């Protein structure tokens, strides 16, 4: 955990990333994790149940943290020339699409 106790520490990759394929696979893994966390945010709204609201807010905080990791990694790899512009655009768009709000009715 970080000092504030809200965001868990992120484990950096344990291998050196030197090729575009490695960079793309690393970011693809982050995108998959981000999508998994985003799905956990989609719970049916059940009225004014504070427990559900708090749980959704915590999951959304975790999702936004993961989405920031994806965008940060994409920008770092693009600026260093380790990822192609096409891969950047595709993965960046999927990160942006995950921000679209969803409401499920019970």
- Per-residue pLDDT reduced to its tens digit, 74-100: 999 999 999 999 999 999 998 998 888
Cβ atoms within 10 Å, residue 18: 9
Buried b / exposed e across 44-55, counting CB within 10 Å, b at 16+?
eeeeeeeeeeee
The reply to whether 57 falls in a domain is yes
What is the number of structural domains in the chain?
1
Write down the pTM of the prediction. 0.73
- Taking the C-alpha atoms of residue 9 and residue 17, their distance in angstroms, rounded to an integer, is 20
pLDDT band, very low/low/confident/very high, at 24 (cuts 50, 70, 90): very high
The answer to whether 79 and 19 have CB atoms below 8 angstroms apart is no
Let me know if residue 52 belongs to a domain: yes
């Amino acid at each position: 955990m970080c000092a504030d106790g809200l965001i868990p520490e992120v484990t950096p990759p344990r291998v050196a990333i030197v090729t575009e394929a490695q960079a793309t696979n690393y970011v693809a893994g982050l995108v998959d994790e981000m999508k998994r966390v985003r799905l956990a945010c989609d719970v049916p709204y059940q009225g004014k149940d504070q427990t559900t609201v708090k749980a959704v807010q915590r999951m959304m905080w975790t999702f936004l943290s993961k989405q920031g990791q994806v965008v940060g990694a994409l920008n770092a790899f693009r600026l260093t020339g380790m990822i192609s512009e096409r891969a950047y655009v595709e993965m960046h768009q999927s990160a942006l699409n995950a921000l679209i709000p969803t409401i499920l009715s019970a």
